[in-house]
Structure 1
Amino acid sequence: MKRLISLVAVMTALGALAGCQNLGVQPWERDLLAKPVMTPGAADGLDDALDDHIYFSKEASSGGRGFGGGGCGCN
């Protein structure tokens, strides 16, 4: 029984360490991440419009996209 528990513990540790083998972005992969398409919200305005619609529906307000506070008027 101890051997089985030890085997399970070792296999779990190896599985956890396998997830850490590739950390960071390689230099040749950075050009793909630097493209304008990869910028959040830059692809098209439809996503931003939908996000605004959902936000303003929940907050019962409109306008002031970059403004702090909620629809209740408390800032």
Structure 2
Amino acid sequence: MRRILLLVSILSLTACTSLGVKPWERDLLAKPEMQLVENPMEMGFEDHTYFSKEGSSGGGSFAGGGCGCN
């Protein structure tokens, strides 16, 4: 019983040793279809609008009022 417990604990400790992106896998992650945001410019505009509207309530830690006159 102790050997089985020892074996299970050793295997569980070594299970996370191969995490991370390998150099030959980086080209797959750099493809446009793998990006979280399809259009970064549009996302920037949406972030600006959101933070301008929510500035009075502290949304996004930007200074300014809720009127959008930053």
TM-score bracket relative to the smaller structure = 0.3 to 0.5
State TM-score, norm by structure 2. Answer: 0.45
State TM-score, norm by structure 1. Answer: 0.44
